């Protein structure tokens, strides 16, 4: 069965162009031009992935993303004309899996869609124990819950997967490319820096908890690892 992609953008030309490329790849494409319609279609049609513009009339893309993340783990690729780090962090922190900056190549977007849909994070995380503890950290892979000092951590799906990979093998250094492959499933070049943004968000949430816990260590020139008292 063809996977269903929901494209949400108030620019009809952008929607039609992206739809053309995704149709060529064999996807069934649904379209929406505002946030309210996007939520309705997402709830009724249960798409396999959503391409979501940040700037929408009425209900913004950020509001749509926030609402959907409270209801579903559907992958979301956010389109944004904003290029500042703060804007990208906001989208990813709300649970977007990736972002594409406008203007963009429809071929690049189609490639990212294929990459996100090819990932197999759930199979990766199901290998090994279903609950793992490391220091004050605890992850339950059945309930998809993480806690620190017994208090829940509000992690996005990508952040949970990322922490899951690190906690399975503490002290092991993972390169950006390895984390991208294990967490995001990207099997082509050009997007490994996206993992840095997710690491930054995850590190910020861990360190914001009482006790200022430091777990994620940057190993310069090599990547990241989970370690007690990481600097």
pLDDT of 212 above 70 = no
Looking at the fold, whether 23 and 107 belong to one and the same domain comes out as yes
Looking at the fold, whether 59 and 152 belong to one and the same domain comes out as no
* Predicted structure pTM score: 0.61
End position of a domain, from candidates 118, 143, 161: 118
Residue pair 217/204 in contact (Cβ under 8 Å)? The answer is no
Residue pair 77/98 in contact (Cβ under 8 Å)? The answer is yes
Looking at the fold, whether 41 and 60 belong to one and the same domain comes out as yes
Beta strands 145-148 and 151-152: pairing type? antiparallel
The CATH number linked to 217 is 1.10.10.10
The mean pLDDT of 136-154, rounded to a whole number, is: 87
Looking at the fold, whether 151 and 61 belong to one and the same domain comes out as no
Looking at the fold, whether 135 and 79 belong to one and the same domain comes out as no
Q: Whole-number mean pLDDT of the chain?
A: 83
Looking at the fold, whether 30 and 127 belong to one and the same domain comes out as no
Looking at the fold, whether 45 and 90 belong to one and the same domain comes out as yes
At 69-97, the pLDDT tens digits run: 878 778 899 988 766 666 667 777 777 88
**Confidence label for 124 from pLDDT (cuts 50, 70 and 90):** very low
Q: Is residue 164 part of a domain?
A: yes
**Confidence label for 184 from pLDDT (cuts 50, 70 and 90):** confident
End position of a domain, from candidates 118, 147, 164: 118
pLDDT of 220 above 80 = yes
- Number of structural domains, the chain? 2
Q: Which structural domain range is residue 177 located in?
A: 121-226
End position of a domain, from candidates 88, 118, 148: 118
Distances (CA, A) of 160 to 17, 95, 218, 221: 33, 11, 18, 24
- State the CB neighbour count (10 A cutoff) for residue 71: 10
Looking at the fold, whether 32 and 92 belong to one and the same domain comes out as yes
Distances (CA, A) of 37 to 47, 53, 73, 168: 14, 13, 19, 40
Q: Is residue 231 part of a domain?
A: no
Joined tokens for residue 49? 């992935």
């Amino acid at each position: 069965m063809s996977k269903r992609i929901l494209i949400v953008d108030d620019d009809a030309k952008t929607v039609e162009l992206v739809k053309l490329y995704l149709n060529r790849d064999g996807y069934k494409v649904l379209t929406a031009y505002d946030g309210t319609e996007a939520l309705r279609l997402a709830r009724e049609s249960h798409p396999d992935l959503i391409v979501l513009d940040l700037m929408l009339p009425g209900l913004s893309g950020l509001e749509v993303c926030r609402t959907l993340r409270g209801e579903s783990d559907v992958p979301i690729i956010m389109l944004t004309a904003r290029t500042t780090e703060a804007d990208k962090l906001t989208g990813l922190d709300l649970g977007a899996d990736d972002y594409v900056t406008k203007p963009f190549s429809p071929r690049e977007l189609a490639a990212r869609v294929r990459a996100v849909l090819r990932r197999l994070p759930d199979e990766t995380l199901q290998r090994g124990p279903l609950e793992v503890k490391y220091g004050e950290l605890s992850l339950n892979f059945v309930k998809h819950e993480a806690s620190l000092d017994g208090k829940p951590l509000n992690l996005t799906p990508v952040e949970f997967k990322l922490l899951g990979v690190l906690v399975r093998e503490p002290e092991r250094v993972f390169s950006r490319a390895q984390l991208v492959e294990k967490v995001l499933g990207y099997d082509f070049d050009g997007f490994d820096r996206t993992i840095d943004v997710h690491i930054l968000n995850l590190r910020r949430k861990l360190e914001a908890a009482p006790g200022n816990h430091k777990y994620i260590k940057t190993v310069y020139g090599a990547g990241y690892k989970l370690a007690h008292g990481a600097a």
